Structures are given as structure tokens and as C-alpha cells.
Structure 1
Amino acid sequence: MSDAAPTVANPLLVSTVVSLAAFMEVLDTTIANVALSHIAGSLGASSEESTWVITSYLVANGIVLPLSGWLSALMGRKRFFIFCILGFTLTSFICGISNSLGMLIVARLLQGLAGGGLQPMQQAIIKDSFPPEKLGMAFAITGITTVLAPILGPLLGGYITDSYSWRWIFFINVPVGLLAAFLVKLMVQDPPSAQKQNIGSVDYIGLGLVAIGLGALQIVLDKGQQEDWFDSSFIVFFAAIAAIGLILAVFWLLEQKNPIVKLRLFAIPSFGMPCIMIFFVGFALYSSATILPMLVQANFGYDATLSGLVLSPGGIVTLFMMPVAGRLVTVIQSKYLISFGMLVTALGMWAAGLVTPETDYYTFVLVRILQVIGLPFLFVPASTLAFSKISPENSNDASAIVSLMRNLGGSIGIALVTNQLIHSQQAEQANLVQHLTAADPGYSSTLAAYTQIFINMGVPASQAATDAMGKIYQELLHQASILAYRDAYNFVALVCVVLGIIALFMPGNPLKKKNAPAAAH
């Protein structure tokens, strides 16, 4: 008999309640990004200093994610979940009233620590609320939070900041958090496996190694591009700390009888391989959602709100596709759905490379829809397969690892793709400059045409030629930038194609029998 939570409420209702809190937390991973310039101006800080508002949150969040299973066992899952909601709500309020950058950074650090347990606990509670044959639908619900919140974050953040104040991107969490805590207290019950356990002595060494390793890694990923990667002694130092801390953590945790992070779960094939796929779900989702607004703002003159509106229709389509994927996972092998999802996502990334300087808003929306419409066929089957052989006793630990893999995939994806973007921009610019010679007929005719235009505008002939060359160079930079985004998206597309092929070799999963009687409700 499954160790599921006592039936005190409809599983869909329980899922909605716990997803409300998790949605709030995932939203805050991206909602502040578009408000940094406003925050810097309001608190008298530089743009570079203000980025620590993002980094501090991600570092703290990344540290707590893998530890949330252990913390849940220490406190009991429901109590820990409510503690995280209330902690996140309180620290959100402190963020909103911060009167200095230092105060805001500390508040964001505490907010990340409090919110780190919300995603994995949401996933574990939903997983234990549904019978095994309905896990696909359960993870379709968690997928809505995972995929939709990062997409809506920049749009909502831009609108609130432009229309009201950046402080309200934090204040809106207060009523939502209080309502979520009340409803969780009312509706959620812990199964025996999720109640407070006697975990013995605290593994301070494992705790320290995980915190130091993941914290340093997150700093490297978030600050690497800004600090010019390994040309910076700052990045080299934290990269070394991250490598040493994580390597020692792996060896230490594998030797412990009751480790704070159960790495041995990776030895289960049906868990380990889906975790890799979930890593790349985060890779594709976060990297593509980061560079598309950059593309339309830098090259097409979109503001923050309009660039957010490019992303939001894709989020709505994903919302409707999640239940479809949840139903298909019961009748089609997860590995085939994952492969299909990877290839559709690759197609969407490749399509983004076809944009031209004349591409309009509606084309960008269609491209974004194509990029994300395959994500439900990645997240839902991968999550269902990952938990298919996980016992209730390991639900919290498995959820913590899955959430960590997804978030790490997002951080690494953003770092790699933005780095690829900058290097491609330099390479494409150098390639185009080679054609700016008198021997090139296209350049010569364009230069002559622009020169004549400036002369017709009354500019002296000598100055007209100079202005014409400046105009051509501006267009060259514009074209080099668009080509660089094409290269970056093609890089993500290639990764997805390779993974789509690898997915075909994943373990199979049991499917619903055609003649099986319908499950009782």
C-alpha cells in the first residue's frame, strides 16, 4: 500500500494551494531582474553593485535546495513548508522597506534561504497526494509552476516597476504568502514518511561542504560574464572554492550512513537519467528566456514591458499543454515523449536564428511559442520517470535533487549561452568587417548610395562620405548582433538535438493497461 497523505482534501486543491507558494518563490528568481536600474537609482548604487540583489538570492537559494529534504526530516515536511512560506513572506516585506543596498542584499539573502525549500516541498507534497498511476498529471501541475513563473517574472516585474515602484515586486508576496500559509495549514497533512524524524547528530561537515561548494559555484555562474570569467582573480578564486568544496562534498556524502543529500539516488537508472534531462529543461528554459528579451531590446527597440509580452503568450500555451503531457505519459513511454520534446524545442531554438532586422512582434511571439511548446513533453515525462521508483521515504530528498538540477541547469545555461553570445558577436563583427573594402561591389554600391542620400540632405560631399561609412558601420554592428543571437540559439538547438537522441536510450516505464478499469475517484 502506498504511503500517501491521508485524504483530507481533493488532490487538485492541495496541489493548487502548495503551488501558490512555490509559484511566488520561482517568480522572484526573475521578477527583480528588470527592476535593477530602478533599484540602483533609488538606493544610490551603481548598476554593477545592484546585481548583487540577484546574486545574493540565487546563492542562498542554491544552497538550501539540496538540503531541503534533510531539513524536512528534521522539522517535518508540513512544518518546514509553512516555515519557509512565512520566512519568505517576512523577508519579502523587509526587501520592500529596505532603505539601502546593503539592507536589500541581506534581505534577499535571507529571502533565498527561506524560499529554497518551497519548490522541492511543493513537488514532494503533490507527488504524495496522487496515486502512482496519476503521477503524470501531478507533475503537470508542478510543471505549470516551474515553466510559467520564470516566463511571467520579467513581464510582471517590468509592469509593476514602471507603473508603481520596484518595492511592490516584493510587497505583493506578503498577502499571497499569508494566504498560502493559512491554506497549507488547513489542507495539507503529512504521511508518516514525511513527519518529523530522529536524524541523530547533524553532519556539519557535509552541510558546510555543500553550502560552500554550491554558494561559490553560483557566484561564479552569476558574476562570471561581468568579471570576464577566468581573466578575473575573483572568479578564479571562487571557481577553485566551488570545485574543491563540491568534490569533497561528493566523497564525504557517499560515505555517510544518513547524508544530508542522498547522492545514492543517482544510482537508480530511472532517477539519474531523468535528472540529467531535467537539468537541460532548466538549461533551455532559462537561457532562451534570458536572451530573447535581450535580442528584442538591443536590436529592435522594445522596452521591458513589450519584451515581456513577447514571452508571455508562450507561457500561456505551455499552461494548456501541461495537462496534455500529463495524460500522454500514461500511454506513451516517457523516453519517446522526452525525445519528441527535445526535438521540438531544438526546432524552436533554430527558428529564432532566422530572424532578420525586419522581423515583427508577432513573429517573435510565434518563435517563442515554438521554443516552449515542447517543454511540457520534457518536464512531465522526466519527472514522472524520475519518481517512478522512488519510495515515499525518499520523496523529499529526490524532490530536492530534482529542483537543484533544474535550477543549476538554468544558471549554467544562462552563463554558457550569454558567453557564447558575446564571443559570437566579436567573431561575426570581424567576419563582416572583412567585406568593407573597395573591392567588394556590395559595399561600394551601398557606400555610394548612402553618400548620395547625405548629399541630397545638404551635407558637404567630404562629410557625406564619412557619414555614409558611419551609417554602414552601424548596420554592420546591428547585423553582427543578430547573427550572434542566431549562433547562440543554434548552440542550444544542437544541445537539444543530441539529448533528443540520448533520450531514446533511457529506461522504460510502466504504462496504463488498455483494458484496466478506470481508477476510482
Structure 2
Amino acid sequence: MVVKGGDLGGSSNPWLIAVVVSIATFMEVLDTTIANVALRHIAGGLAAGIDQATWVITSYLVANAIVLSISGWLATVIGRKRFYMICVALFTISSLLCGLAWSLPALVAFRVFQGLGGGGMAPSEQAIPADAFPPEQRGRAFAIYGIAVVVAPVIGPTLGGWITDNYTWHWVFLINVPMGILSLLLVNSLVHEPASTAAERKKLRQNGLSVDYIGFLLVALGLGCLEVVLDEGQRNDWFDSTYILGFAVVSAISLLLLIPWELTRKEPIVDLRLLGNRNFGSCFVVMLCTGAILIATTQFLPQMLQEQFGYTATLAGTALSPGGFVTMMLMPLAGRSVNIVPPKYAIAGGMAVVAGAMWYVTGLNGDLTWSYAAWARVFLAIGLPFVFIPITTASYEGLPREKTNQASALINVARNLGGSLGVSLAQTMLAQREQFHQSRLIEHVYPSSPQYQETVRQAEQFFGSKASSAADTSQRITDWIGQLLAKQVALLAYIDVFWSLSLIAIAGIVVALTFMSNKTLGKGHPS
């Protein structure tokens, strides 16, 4: 069956095309999280420190951010299908080289190329279904794409933990190779270039292609340096470090100069005018919030379970898995909802559920169970589909077809940038609130305190029979109280992090209700 009204450019089934492009989507998004849990194994295998090994993550994100913002323009100039296949091929070859890397510098270099390929894929993966389906069916098409985007970060830590626990870190990257080859074969056979984009490319070449080199340089410096600041800031004391301050200044100047430069170009490499569109601008901001919450929780829930409760990487990852199944079940329903409920109300409702999920996690304590963590992720998973699908679908509403590449690129920039901002905010808050809570709790730990004396008395009864001497008993009690205090401090800091994420969700509700159109997609209702 071919869906009428789309611009498929061929006779392939558009639903099959949505599934095909989701393969590479899943592969690329998975790679943003799967390597996180393998860092210690990578550092040990390549004789590097854990701080040095973090460049395995940072190098990928920097390259991804740089190419992502200009990939819409590149897809228009090169041809969407051709550019997409080049990116998938680059990502697949780079994954093979990452798995065969012999040193940390080699691995970082290959990760840069992998990030370039991965960043280039994302906009085409959204634009292809957008053109293949008529507006009234785009919601259900994006549901398939959304499953890959939302579920991949959930599976990433679990799969990465299982691979590193049972095999070697090399397979974290090598697993992409067969998936990449499958994606290339299917895309080459089934995906066709839309007539409108082919005509736009022909028109550009006839008029003489003008490459915005300065715009590209400003984008690369601005987003690349910003990514380094966000990823390395907490580890380097933020602006007390000349290293971080230098990158921040370069990023700020580049992004400020980018605005007037791109707005005055006839053929801008990044079409910033789209952000002036009320509906698209709102979608961009809400996607920032969504990316911050999704990526931050995906990183910090497993981190908390491993560091504070002694979970293995695999077990911590499984706490996120039930949420992934819930998302898969709800995505089709969320896809249908965009034709019934105006996106602003669907997004507001979804964000309200997300805010409630973050509030639920603030009730954690020292007796946290696996089921509590799993339910927290399930509650979050209930809200995310009703946020992600309406944003993705509404961002194309009212835009001419030749702008879909640029629009898709900017929405993906919002998701990735939001994720980086969310993780950076959470890391900074976690460190600062740990210091705050430690200073406050220590105020109540002094020898004359009745609570302290009672705690010591109970500890003496427990450790007295196990220690070899009074000095040994005293040392064990001191160590135990220190560990208990450190755990309480850490849990209070995590609670503050989840409170901050709930406030980000509330901000998303406000933006959606205040600025987005009331129009029901695909039905032609007035705003």
C-alpha cells in the first residue's frame, strides 16, 4: 500500500520506509549512551586514566553537534538519500575502526568521524518520513521514529553493561557494523529522492552554489566549544579554569556573530529565520527541555544505582528497561493523538506526567528498591511519547517542503543540546548540593549530641563482637558513620537534581501553552 498525499518519489510502502530509517536512528542514538558504562573498561584496556577516557564520549558529542546544525543544508545540496547513505557508511566504517582501535588517541580520532556520520543522519531520518506521509499521518510515522529515539538511550546502558560484563569493550562499537550494513542495503533499495528536494537541489546548482564558509566556521566553533564547556566544566571547576573560560568565550562570540551573519545570507548554512516562526520556535524550546530530561535521567538513574546501591552495570541498566517497553506501547497512541488533540495540549499533558515522574523520584531513600527505580522510569515513559511525537510533528506544520531538512536539523540540535545542558546542569547541581548537604549534616554530628551518642552506642553493640580491640571498634564505628553520612549527602543531592528536572518540565508546559498554535494537525482547524 502506498499512502496517498506523500512525496515519496517512488512506489515503496511509506510505513516500511519509516521502519528502515529507524534502524540507523536506533543505532546512532544508542551509541550516545552505550559507551558510557564501558569507560572504565576502555581506560583499563588502553592504559589511560578515566579522565582521559571521557574524551571517548566528548569527541563524539562535539563532532555530532557540529555537523548536526549544517546537515540540513548538506542534505539539500548533496541530495537527501545520497547524503544519508554517506553518513550511514561513515558511521559504520568508523564503528569498525573504533572496535579495532589500538590506543586512546586512535579511538578518539575514530569517534570524531563516527560523530560526524551520526550527526548527519538525524535530520534526514526525520525529513524522509515527513515527506513520505501526508500531514494527517505524520504523527503515526514519527511514532516509529520516536520509539528508536526514546528507547535507544534506555537500552544503551543495559546493553553496554552486559557487553562489557560478558565480552570486551570492543564489541560496544563492533555491534554497529552489521546494523549499518543492513541499513545501507535497505535504504538503497527502498528510499527514493522526493521530487521537490531534487528540484530544489537543481535550482541551487543552476543559480550557482554559494557555500557559507564563515557560517560553517561560526557554527563549528560555537557548538563545538560549547559542547566542551558543558562536558568538561564540572571536572575543571568551570570558569575558575582558564581552559574552560577560553572555550566559553570563543563559543559565546561565535554564536553571537552567527545570528546577524546567517540572517543576512541569501543561502544560510543554518536557517535561523525558522526560529522566528512562533510554532517552530516553541517546538525548539520544548525539545530542549525534553532532551535535558531524557538524557539526564538516562545517565543519572543508573549512576545513582551503581554508586549508592552497589548495582552492577547490567542490573542498573535493567531498571530502565520497563520504561522502554511502556514507551513502545504508547508511541502508536501518541501518534494518533496529534490528529485529535492540539499539540500544545498533548505536550502540556505529557510534560505534566514527566514533572510528576520527577517529583516521584524525589521520594527516594536509603531503602530504595529496584522496583522503585523501575516505576520511576515507567512514569516518565508514560509522558514522553505525548511530548516527543507532537513536538516532532508540529515542528513541520506550516513550513514549505524545501525547509524540512533545515527544520529537522534544528530540532535535532535542540534535542542534543538540551541533553548536554541537562547533564551539565545535573552534574553541577549534584556536586554543589553534596557540598551544601555535607556542611549542614556535619553541623549535627558532634560528640555531645544525644542522637550521635545513641548511634555510637548501637554501633558499639554491633561492632564490639566483631572487632579485635577497643581501638578497632572505634575505628570501625568512625568509618561506618562516615559512610552513612556520605550516602545520606549523596541521596539528598540526587533529590535536588530530580527537583530541578521537574522544574524544567514545568517550564516546558508554560512554553507549550503560551506560544504554540491551537491547530489540530492534519485537520485544517484554525489557530
Give yes or no for contact 2:286–2:511 (8 Å, CA) kept in 1. Answer: no
Matches of 2:479 and 2:164 in 1, distance apart?
36
> Match for residue 223 of structure 1?
232
Q: Which amino acid aligns with 1:187?
A: L
CA contact (8 A) 1:193 1:393 kept: yes
CA distance in 2, matches of 1:468, 1:393: 69
Contact 1:53 1:108 in 2 (8 A): yes
- Give the superposition deviation at 1:476: 1.0
Give how far 1:515 is off. Answer: 13
Q: 1:103 to 1:458 in 2, by over 3 A?
A: closer
What is the CA-CA distance between 1:130 and the residue it aligns to? 0.9
| Shift, 1:411, TM fit | 0.4
Q: How far apart are residue 443 of structure 1 and its match?
A: 1.9
Shift of 1:148: 1.0
Shift of 1:18: 0.8
CA displacement at 1:458 relative to structure 2: 4.9
Match of residue 154 from structure 1 = 157
Structure 1 segment 217-366 matched on structure 2, within 5 A? 217-366=226-375
- CA spacing shift, 1:472–1:108, aligned 2, 3 Å: same
Maintained 8 Å contact 2:230/2:421: yes
- Which of 407, 414, 420 is the aligned partner of 1:411? 420
1:140-173 Cα shifts (integer Å, max 9, x gaps) = 1221121111111111111112222211122121
Q: Aligned equivalents of 1:330 and 1:43: distance in 2?
A: 52
Deviations 1:297-341 (A, max 9, x none): 111000111111111111111111111111111111111111111
For the pair 1:367 / 2:367, whether they are aligned, the reply is: no
Confirm whether residue 133 of structure 1 aligns to residue 136 of structure 2.
Answer: yes
Opposite residue 302 of structure 1, the aligned amino acid is: Y
CA deviation after TM superposition for structure 1 residue 138, in Å? 2.0
Q: Tell me whether 160-169 or 284-293 shows the greater mean CA deviation.
A: 160-169
Q: What is the identity percentage for the equivalent residue pairs of Structure 1 and Structure 2?
A: 44
Rounded Cα–Cα distance in structure 2 between residues aligned with 1:501 and 1:260: 31
- 2:319 is paired with a residue whose SS is helix
Match of 1:235, as an amino acid? I
Distance 2:226 2:523 in 1: 48
Distance of 2:153 and 2:168 partners within structure 1: 20
Deviations 1:78-107 (A, max 9, x none): 100111111111111111111111111111
Q: Residues 81 and 121 of structure 1 are in contact (CA less than 8 Å); yes or no, is this contact kept in structure 2?
A: yes
Partner of 2:87: 84
CA distance in 1, matches of 2:477, 2:333: 55
- C-alpha displacement of 1:463: 4.7
Q: TM-score, normalised by structure 1?
A: 0.95
Q: Distance in 2 between matches of 1:508 and 1:455?
A: 69
Q: Does the Cα contact within 8 Å between 2:323 and 2:381 map onto a contact in 1? A: yes
The residue type equivalent to 1:468 in the other structure is: I
Check conservation: 2:158, 2:313, Cα contact below 8 A: yes
Residues 453-492 of structure 1 mapped to structure 2, 5 A cutoff = 453-461=462-470, 463-492=472-501
| 2:112 aligned to which of 95, 109, 128 | 109
Does the C-alpha gap of structure 1 residues 514 and 190 become closer, same or farther in structure 2, counting only changes over 3 Å? Answer: closer
Query: How far apart, in 1, do the equivalents of 2:436 and 2:392 lie?
Result: 39
Q: Does 1:40 align with 2:49?
A: no
Residue of structure 1 equivalent to 2:33? 30
Match runs of 1:174-193 below 5 Å? 174-193=177-196
Q: Please identify runs of 4+ aligned residues in structure 1 that moved more than 4 A.
A: 512-516
Unaligned segments of structure 1, at least 5 residues = 517-521
**Residues 338, 382 of structure 1: 8 Å contact kept:** yes
TM superposition score normalised by structure 2: 0.94
Q: Distance in 2 between matches of 1:444 and 1:126?
A: 67
For residue 430 of structure 1, what is the amino acid of its counterpart? S
Mapped to 2, the partners of 1:218 and 1:508 lie a distance apart of: 32
Q: Does 1:99 align with 2:108?
A: no
Q: Which SS does the other structure have where 1:505 is aligned?
A: helix
Moved more, 408-417 or 187-196: 187-196
Q: Secondary structure at the match of 2:45?
A: helix
The SS at the match of 1:29 is: helix
SS, match of residue 127 in structure 2? helix
CA distance in 1: counterparts of 2:482 and 2:412, whole angstroms: 46
| Alignment correspondent of 2:392 | 383
C-alpha distance in 2 between matches for 1:463 and 1:107: 52
* Partner Cα separation in structure 2 for residue 463 and residue 39 of structure 1: 39
Once structures 1 and 2 are overlaid, which stretch shifts more, 444-453 or 178-187? 444-453
User: Which SS does the other structure have where 1:373 is aligned?
Assistant: helix
Would the alpha carbon gap of residues 281 and 132 (structure 1) be closer, same or farther in structure 2, given more than 3 Å must change? same
Per-residue Cα deviation, 1:35-84 (whole angstroms, up to 9, x for no partner): 11111111221211111111111111100001111111111001001111
Q: 2:456 aligns with which of 430, 447, 455?
A: 447
Structure 2 letter corresponding to 1:16? V
Distance (Å, rounded) in 2 between the aligned partners of 1:96 and 1:224: 28
> Which is worse superposed, 137-146 or 265-274?
137-146
- Give the distance between the partners of 2:508 and 2:113, measured in 1 at CA: 36
Tell me what 1:425 maps to: 434
* Cα distance change on mapping 1:115 and 1:513 into 2, 3 Å: closer
| 1-structure distance, mates of 2:75, 2:523 | 38
Q: Structure 1 CA distance, aligned partners of 2:466 and 2:59?
A: 53
Q: Distance in 2 between matches of 1:55 and 1:421?
A: 20
Give yes or no for contact 1:337–1:377 (8 Å, CA) kept in 2. Answer: yes
Tell me if structure 1 keeps the 8 A contact 2:158–2:314. yes
Are 1:285 and 1:372, in contact at CA under 8 Å, matched by a contact in 2?
Answer: no
What is the CA distance between 1:131 and its match in structure 2?
A: 0.7
Aligned residue identity for 1:212: L
Task: Tell me the amino acid that sits aligned with residue 335 of structure 2.
Answer: G
2:7 matched to 1:4? yes
TM-aligned CA distance change 1:509 to 1:458, over 3 Å: closer
Residue deviations 1:147-204, cap 9 Å, x none? 1111111111111122222111221211111111111111111112222342512111
Question: Partner letter of residue 322 of structure 1?
Answer: M
Q: Hey, what's the Cα distance between the residues in 1 that align with 2:472 and 2:152? A: 52
> Number of residue pairs matched?
516
Q: Which sits farther off after the overlay, 473-482 or 450-459?
A: 450-459
Q: Distance in 2 between matches of 1:290 and 1:11?
A: 34
Q: Is the 8 A contact 2:394 2:521 kept in 1?
A: no
Partners of 1:447 and 1:465 within 8 A in 2: no
1:388–1:509 contact (8 Å) kept in structure 2: no
Verify the 8 A CA contact 1:3 1:191 in the aligned structure 2. no
Q: Match of 2:9, SS?
A: coil
Deviates more, 1:423-432 or 1:198-207: 198-207
Select the residue among 143, 150, 157 that pairs with 2:146: 143
Q: Is the 8 A contact 1:22 1:122 kept in 2?
A: yes
Residue type of the alignment partner of 1:494: L
Moved more, 189-198 or 209-218: 189-198
Instruction: Tell me the distance in 2 between the aligned counterparts of 1:503 and 1:395.
Output: 21
TM-fit CA distance, 1:511: 2.8
Report the equivalent of 1:519.
none
The answer to whether the Cα contact below 8 Å between 1:314 and 1:369 also exists between their aligned partners in 2 is yes
Contact conserved, 2:30 with 2:152, CA < 8 A, in 1? yes
